[in-house]
Chains A and B, each alone.
Chain A
Amino acid sequence: MADVRPVTFRTVRRYLFSTDHRIVGIQFLMLSMAMALCGGALMALMRMNLAWPGIKWPLLGAIFPHAMQSGIMKPEFYLAIMTMHGTIMVFFVISLALVSGLGNLIIPLQTGARGMAFPVLSMLSFWTVVAASIVLLAGFAVEGGASAAGWTSYPPLSAVRSAVPGSNWGQTLWIAAMALFIASFTMGAVNFIATILDERAKGMSLFRMPLLMWSYLVASALGVLAFPALFAAVTLLICDRHFGTSFYLPSGLFFGKRLLANEGGTPLLWQHLFWFLGHPEVYILAMPAWGVVLDLIPVFTRKPVFGYRVTVHCFSAIAVLSLIVWGHHMYVSGMSPYAGEFFAIASLAITVPSTMIGVNMLASLWGGAIRFRLPMLFAIAAIVMFGTGGFGGMFLGNATSDIQLHDTYFVVGHFHLLIGGMTLMATFAALHYWFPKMFGRMMDERLGRVHFWLTFPTFYFIFLLMQFDGLSGMPRRYYSWEKYDYLAIARGHQVYISVLAFLLGAAQLIWVVNFFRSIWKGRVAEANPWNAATLEWQEGAGEVHRWPYDYSVPGAANDCTPQTERTG
């Protein structure tokens, strides 16, 4: 047993630069967890300042001698942590966990592939994103601090180096990190598409795939189509910043005491390119979340999913529509008002397939024998966030109401409920559910329940309240609102929001403890712990004979008929 082997190139290659899809998947999940802790810590700093603006935090002053001189947060540091929080959470947490991590882990298992189609690409995509994370976080260590132009990085703020302190090297590093991230995501997406289309087990026709696989297929295709626009955008931005071009910079720009030499560009170009990715990105994250929810419901209701084919078509319809609605982020940007009319009508068209998906979730629950295991609790929480967050989209997709709500806390509340809350709940559901597949053990249910009840209502109320503050016109990306009389009441909410946010942050530590404890101490799982029909839980999975939702088939001996079973 005590066979201590020397560390050779082969062992490093095997565990660190592994091409095994499970190990790569787990590596992605671990990295996303580390990045989530960074993003969460930044959130705590932001909420401290928003609840108690201008208060001295001597201990933090010692940690950040420049950014928090004598313990008071500088406005430019607030903008930097806000920018990094957004970038980290959207690209380096949700996308890494739900798309790259879970995708690598589960796609070969559920399709019956032997592994990913391009194993080396899986490994490369992970190590590229490790590099991206390091480059991104290095922003805090360079002169001027991390990028401070918001996660949307609108030029000229992000293009002119003297526009804001973070627009110095921090912004350049942000751009480099995004370029690396896009490279990593594209490698992953191409790999997902190839695996799903080419590597499926015998008998696994496309319409026998679980909805999660459909969501990965559609989301990956969407990513491959949309991410190049952002790659082009950041390349042009680098040129504007370092090589004297003027893609985003018009003539007559005046900074400090100096007239810039640029001419001929327009800042609106960036917004078009950024949101051409930015909006599909929302669905790249949302679709796997819906896939997880729709796939877990049948397991925990012992009933087939409702509206399988309709949902697949809805995924495709949303993917197509999401490519032509980017302008709803730009209603008041100075874009032509006639374009605004088109984008309003197209954006609200997305409510139709989204509603169908929501109704399918409810109808899938209807009449089932619902079992409240932990994955199911989080799936239900995801449905609630999907509903309330989705309804906010009706306000913002509509040009007329967006005039008042654009760039207020309504937007912040809306996208946190959907792209923060819904996806996070689905991620927790998925990790609880597939934990036995990763480590052969179960996560602790009791600890998990404490985590669930501290997370779900807390998350909901924080961002619900933000939406109402947005209705009262509270602008986002403010260091404080002290100067504005009309925000007196909204300002008073900030302490409550911050206290809830700290509670939410602390609750996530329970999850981390539960996760790592269960790796070693969890109850050993049986082969098919949830009694599920999908391929990944079947021993010696071979040929596939049926769709993945054959639960409670009349006349069958068991209430679950696995995909691999021939008769019945």
Chain B
Amino acid sequence: MNGLQTARLGLARGGIELRQTFTYGPDLVAYLFFPVIDLGVLFLMRGHQVPGTSFSLGSLTLPSVIGLGLAFGGLVGVTAQLCSEREDGTLLRAKATPGGMTGYVIGKICYISAGALAGLVGTLVIGLIAFAGLQLTLGGVATLAWVSVLGLLATIPLGIVAGSLLPNPRFMPLVMLPFGAIAAVSGIFYPITHLPDWLQVVGQVFPVYWVGLGARAALLPSSLASVEIDGSWRLPLAFLVLALWSLLGLALAPTVLRRMARHESGSRVAARRERAMLRAT
């Protein structure tokens, strides 16, 4: 019963934060920045064809970008939020409230998931209208649904772990740079099959490749599976890899988060404030 009430409070919190993002200029700009640039670039790529086919390169890349956006929101989004809200004392306030930490985490998961899914739907709608060759069948919707849910499940807990471990937001490059490197070898903007073998292996270890692959499987004609590794969408394997990352994240996140939260206190936040102020002046 109590758990249900707290879950409801978390949901309310996520809703409030989502509304704030969509009604606050700077947040909205930050939220739309990458999707708009990506879509713009893809739009310019429409005229080019996937080598060996007559399919538009822009249309091929769009589903991958949807997958990338999901993984980026889940991992980098959560890390950045957790990190900065720990520094500014939001977390300590949650800790001082009965059930507040649970509510905070549920709220954050809802906020990030809803934000990522809204981005997905937005990009998808634009893609279906403006990019030739994309198709959305009932089966595709189902694939996209499970890939999205599992993609968020695989990345959000990892984001919670990273956000708990980073000392402050100035350390964000420690997450951004590896994420960028992983994205580069995940077949998002550049086909993974054109990379050296060992880089293909590296790319396939991480969730980004599989979320992108799943999105392509959902939105592209089945004939295009031919340009993938093994000439197949390999959905069972995508499910397995994403599920393993989810399990790993879910196993680590609560412990790491609790350990971090246990050490939060007024004097810690005050010390961080002082340090950040020194940097600012």
Chains A and B form a bound pair: no
Binding site for A on B (CB under 8 A): none
Binding site for B on A (CB under 8 A): none
